[in-house]
Amino acid sequence: MAQELGRQIAEARRERGKSLRALAEEVGLSPSYLNDIEHGRRVPSEPAILDLAAALGLDSDAMLAKAGRVGEGAEQYLRTRPSAGLLLRKASDARLSEEDLQKLIRKTDQIIKERDSGS
């Protein structure tokens, strides 16, 4: 996971023509720490991931997922909604494939859209 996240950050940084030092300064990280992230030796904190995503124009939710983090909001939601934890446990116990999880995400997006449109 950490290596995939690091690779994505490094590729996005290079595509945008940013040096490692410039990006590190922009997001308030040391260049050595950012280098460790890019090489998969460190997993950044949630705030660092959010800052990197914003600086590089990347999807912060996808980056949090690659880092194995759910985010503070999701952690709070899991603590206050027992059904959310049950859903996660069922998905885990069933060892849902990436394809199955993507279907579940699409279904969730559909439910949100319907709810927000008042259907």
On whether both 86 and 60 belong to a single domain, the answer is no
- 2 pLDDT tier (thresholds 50, 70, 90): confident
Q: What is the pLDDT of residues 61-116, one digit of tens each?
A: 889 988 988 878 888 999 999 999 999 999 999 999 999 999 999 999 999 999 99
Residue 71 maps to a domain:
no
On whether both 39 and 93 belong to a single domain, the answer is no
Q: Which domain holds residue 43?
A: 2-66
Residue 74 maps to a domain:
no
Q: Does pLDDT of 59 surpass 70?
A: yes
Residue 73 maps to a domain:
no
Residue 50 maps to a domain:
yes
Which residues of the chain form beta strands (DSSP E)?
none
Q: 69-107 burial, b for 16+ CB within 10 Å, e for fewer?
A: bbbeeeeeeeeeeeeeeeeeeeeeeeeeeeeeeeeeeee
Q: Does pLDDT of 17 surpass 70?
A: yes
Model-wide pTM > 0.75: no
User: What is the number of structural domains in the chain?
Assistant: 2
